[in-house]
Structure 1
Amino acid sequence: MGDAHYLSIISTSTLASHILGLGSVNYTDIEPIVPLVTEYIVFAVSVSSPIKNFKELSEKMKANPTVLSFAIGSGLGNPNHVAIAAALKANGADVRRMKVVAFGGGKEALMAVLGEHVDVLAVAGSILVEEVKARKLRAIAVAAPRRLDGAFNTIPTLKEQGVDLVFGFSRYIVAPKGVSNDQLAYWESVFASLIRSEEWKNALEKNNWNSTYMTSSQTVKDLQTQYFALRSVLTELELAKVQQGK
């Protein structure tokens, strides 16, 4: 039986790493408790770019999948890469031919677009919020279920621009495999209280996070849905190493 005194955090990147063959841990190896936050992917371009919205970008990529370059952080196949591919594939672009430049992290990717070395940036909103506020970058879409608050409140969602996609970088609290149902219920209640606290609400606002709390059983289903969605896109990109199983 697992020891419920020890908790850890996994993320959307944990799932992607498993599919890419870079990590051995999958969501089936632990007991998910709750998701705490999701940072939805924001697409942005330089303020001097002629691209004004995601529909324009998508049409360009459909006509010529190598016409634009995309900056991401932390390696090919990461959630940002998947978000780009899923959004463009939905409009018929050949995502296997698109030009993606992977940097060491989101900030390095941001600097490449600011310097106009790469055309489009796709990262979590917290990475570029200050540049959007300062009008150094033009955010053209958010992969969120609805418009975000704060600096992104005027930025249309992908859905508003004809792409039925919601995609973000989520973080989950997990326990060791084998903890009891009573132990899971206890930790669910602890985090349910946390998300109602003023301190947590302030942290969400300060960090441009989105609360995505759900129960443990709902979290298992959410992780499974995400895993299969990630694997589908990564298979399309010919990056997936894990082709079967959960």
Structure 2
Amino acid sequence: MERRSSTARLIRWAPWAVAVLVTAAVVGTAPADTAHSGSTAAQVLGDRQLRIMAPAAPGGGWDQTAREMQASLQELVGRTEVYNVTGAGGTIGLSQFVRYEGDPSQLMATGLIMVGAVKANKSPVSLADTTPLIRLTTDAEVVAVPANSPIHSMSDLVNAMRTDLPGVSIAGGSAGGAEQILAGLLAQAVGANPAQMSYVAHSGGGEMLSTLLSGRATIAISGVSELEPQIKGGEVRALAVSSAQRAPTLPDVPTLRETGVDVELDNWRGVVAPKGITVEQERVLEQLLLEMTRTPQWKATLAERGWGDATLVGPEFEEFLRVEQDRVSKVLDQIGLG
């Protein structure tokens, strides 16, 4: 376990893009041309209401992101609508979203999970069929068990996975997403074959939690913000988080590396618009979302949810997304999930 696998190293350095590109986003602001254009969000939207798709069931990270955006955008554009389209790691929502080509009033939450699901589900559409606007947050994953589980630590879980990997049922998000990637890396880190995992995919955090608490899963892997209420409420016991540092909202929970499991992974979430909007519309929407990240409401959300501020806008986000799609594809292939 002291010797890192090539895949673990790849994930270990996955945040490299986050660190470098977040710096670029902090130093820079919105594209310079936006500040000099006469267009405003009100002019771009006209009489249309801004609509935000959460491409997953209520209760999950995308749903939380969309609804926190809704609250933070209130003072900037008034009322917005949030709606859910569930299934297949967001690819069902994506397949519907691409039909809004050219409509600047439509936004969709996206992130690492969708990047992986596009490949895992062999989706005919991808994020290349959208207009990337902004990356907003990072969120650590947490490995957890029911409060009454006989597994009390990562050491217990490692022993169980080594003894009988198929017997350790893992509840998580959609196929190809951050949770399944992390599950595969855990299996690989303990010397097991990821292809033998018993992974139960879910389209939303609420469904995943139900599976865990009903006893139909041994462990769950989910975003910290999704399981934090149940962890603090005593229904669920957290074993470790996947980030480099302990999660601010769960300071007593060790990182995987602290427990001797050499794996690190951060989820990220962002926003896209439909393909076919004009350059001016794209810049105005980017400026609007950048202004949203500066509001007291959004800053309070980051603190309450324990989300990392990963703001990245414009061409830098587009380049990050291109690199991320290639990276995730290679990782999925390496751990047999492609």
Matched, 1:66 2:166: yes
Shift of 1:169: 4.7
1:46-95 deviation digits (Å, cap 9, x = unpaired): 2233333334423432454224111124x433332122112332343211
- 1:190 and 1:45, CA in 2 relative to 1: closer, same or farther beyond 3 A? same
Matched, 1:49 2:156: no
Unaligned runs of 5+ in 1: 241-246
Matched, 1:211 2:211: no
- 1:93 and 1:160, CA in 2 relative to 1: closer, same or farther beyond 3 A? same
- 1:212 and 1:119, CA in 2 relative to 1: closer, same or farther beyond 3 A? same
**Other-structure match for 1:90:** 189
**Counterpart of 1:84 in structure 2: which amino acid?**
A
**Other-structure match for 1:80:** 179
Matched, 1:197 2:295: yes
**Other-structure match for 1:105:** 204
Q: Is the 8 A contact 1:87 1:165 kept in 2?
A: no
**Counterpart of 1:15 in structure 2: which amino acid?**
V
1:49 partner SS: coil
C-alpha distance in 2 between matches for 1:223 and 1:158: 26
Aligned partner of 1:124 among 202, 220, 223: 223
**Counterpart of 1:12 in structure 2: which amino acid?**
L
Q: Is the 8 A contact 2:169 2:218 kept in 1?
A: yes
Q: Is the 8 A contact 2:118 2:126 kept in 1?
A: yes
More helix by share: 2
Q: Is the 8 A contact 2:115 2:177 kept in 1?
A: no
**Other-structure match for 1:19:** 119
- 1:214 and 1:51, CA in 2 relative to 1: closer, same or farther beyond 3 A? same
- 1:21 and 1:107, CA in 2 relative to 1: closer, same or farther beyond 3 A? closer
Shift of 1:121: 0.4
Q: Is the 8 A contact 1:140 1:156 kept in 2?
A: yes
- 1:37 and 1:65, CA in 2 relative to 1: closer, same or farther beyond 3 A? same
1:214 partner SS: strand
1:147-166 deviation digits (Å, cap 9, x = unpaired): 2222x121122233342322
- 1:3 and 1:67, CA in 2 relative to 1: closer, same or farther beyond 3 A? closer
Unaligned runs of 5+ in 2: 1-100
Q: Is the 8 A contact 2:138 2:266 kept in 1?
A: no
1:123 partner SS: strand
**Other-structure match for 2:237:** 138
Percent identity reads 22
Shift of 1:211: 2.5
Larger radius of gyration: 2
| Greater relative CO (CA pairs within 8 A, separation 6+) | 1
TM-score with structure 2 setting the length: 0.60
C-alpha distance in 1 between matches for 2:202 and 2:290: 36
Shift of 1:201: 1.4
Q: How many pairs were matched up?
A: 236
Q: Is the 8 A contact 2:225 2:306 kept in 1?
A: yes
